[in-house]
Structure 1
Amino acid sequence: MAIAEALSWVGLLVAMAFKYGLDMPLGVTVMGSVHGAVFTAYVVTCLVVFSPLRWRFWVLVLALAASVPPLVTVWFERWADRRGLLTERDSDEPTFWTRVGHVLRELN
């Protein structure tokens, strides 16, 4: 998803160059939609995987912040991979979503 998000950013930037440089706005309409969908998928992916991968909250924040500037998601993915943050670790400690589920059950 990180690479797809970066590529869609590049596509949107190229489309913007065509729109403002050559007065051809159709590319921004198409690439804007594509980038919006891929950006949303990247954010949802980060929110889904941070718990099973046992990321600290600041790593999630960094992953989400990386989606704002162009191409930074690729840097984040490489950084996280070098630190072993993209592989699931064995642990008896409950995940974030397990804790949320427990709190919700207790509230009922």
Structure 2
Amino acid sequence: MIIHILAQSPNPFDGVVPNFDVFGVEFNSTWKKLLGGVWGLAFVLFAFGAIRATLELQSAKRNGYESSVAGHTAALKRSVIGLGLLASLGLIFGAVLAVF
């Protein structure tokens, strides 16, 4: 019975879409610049992490440190997955917004 009552209640967010134009053009351009800067910084951090993990992995393999190889391999995998997710973040958000 409660489910039936909830199904009949109107959706207060029906027809509402996210829109930053209400805050003005300056705010709209500022948050886009800020988001782009943070996104770019994240790419740099993950790229340096991938380079560092690759160098450490090669050094561990070359010197025969088998116990370190697993840890460096995991760090390299995390960095590469992070780079892949960052690169596809625009597509993911675009798909979500297209659905709604």
**When you count helix as a share of all residues, which structure comes out higher?**
2
TM-score band by shorter chain is: 0.3 to 0.5
Q: For CA contacts below 8 A with separation 6 or more, give which structure has more relative contact order.
A: 1
Q: What TM-score, normalized to structure 2?
A: 0.44
